[in-house]
Amino acid sequence: MTTRIDAKFAELKRQGRSAFVTFVMAGDPDEKTSLEIIKALPKAGADVLEIGMPFTDPMADGPSIQAAGLRALKGGMTLRKTLEMVRGFRKDDDTTPIVLMGYYNPIYIYGVETFLADAKAAGVDGLIIVDLPPEEDTELCIPAMKAGLNFIRLATPTTDDKRLPAVLANTSGFVYYVAVTGITGSAAADSKVVGAAVSRIKRHTALPVCVGFGIRTPEVARAIAESADGSVVGTALVDALKGSLDAEGRATARTVTAVADLAASLAQGVRGAKQAAE
């Protein structure tokens, strides 16, 4: 079964260009503004949307994304409301792939079968669950695949050739390569190192490889897009959002455009990689 993710990467391959993948936190800084931002991102050039599911203990996230999750939770965001946002987005856009990214605990509490049915019905295409290793595939990964959702795995600089086949075993949609060791937003990605890592992963899989963590500028996004099938930007967009808020942390007239304008410049960086590579 072809998902929106599969269709999007096939289309980009025909166009000969890399994907621009954006990450924002559901409900940050509030439900209404968050939906407006998500709707604005494809118009700004995002090919795939990653939406964070707010969680109280986000161990892989750096300070910016942790703060975004806390703002969302403070505003009353829940997993159920996150799915409602996806449903709201799908009223106007039935083609842009949506990946929910987060932790297993909220899904476990929601109920795995119910969550997968509700996520699929809302228009979710894939999941990235950072705290479920391949050894736990029966918990969520296999049921998600049976429900028609891609289960996207993270590979890191410490994932060696011995470990990689286990990481890739039930992965679908794309592989998410974490360009820097550590938490999100902690360091800049080195395109040469990333290029070698992407080549190594591609020796083990035919799936697209997208690179995230450490991409903050159009220049870095462009350099990464030379070798990877996609560049993922999260922290920089979340920081742009935060910078637009008022003293009480509420959205202002600038909030949606602050995120969309940065996304547009990053998208141009990614799209520039095709011309540079030709």
Q: Report the C-alpha dihedral over residues 55, 56, 57, 59, rounded to 10 degrees.
A: 50
Catalytic choice (6, 28, 47, 50): 50
- Give CA 273 to chain center in angstroms: 20
Distance CA 139, CA 132 (A): 8
Burial class from Cβ neighbours inside 10 Å (0-12, 13-18, 19+) for residue 248 reads exposed
Q: What is the DSSP letter of 215?
A: -
Distance CA 271, CA 264 (A): 10
Distance CA 31, CA 108 (A): 23
- Two structure tokens written together for 205: 């899989």
Catalytic choice (6, 61, 118, 137): 61
- Report the DSSP beta bridge partners of residue 101: 52, 128
136 in active site:
no
- Two structure tokens written together for 156: 């890191």
239 in active site:
no
**Which residues touch 201 (CB under 8 Å, ≥6 apart)?**
155, 164, 175, 177, 209
Backbone angle region of 185, left / alpha / beta, with phi > 0 → left and psi within -120 to 50 → alpha: left
Q: In this structure, are strands 48-52 and 98-102 parallel, antiparallel, or unpaired? A: parallel
Active site positions, annotated: 50, 61
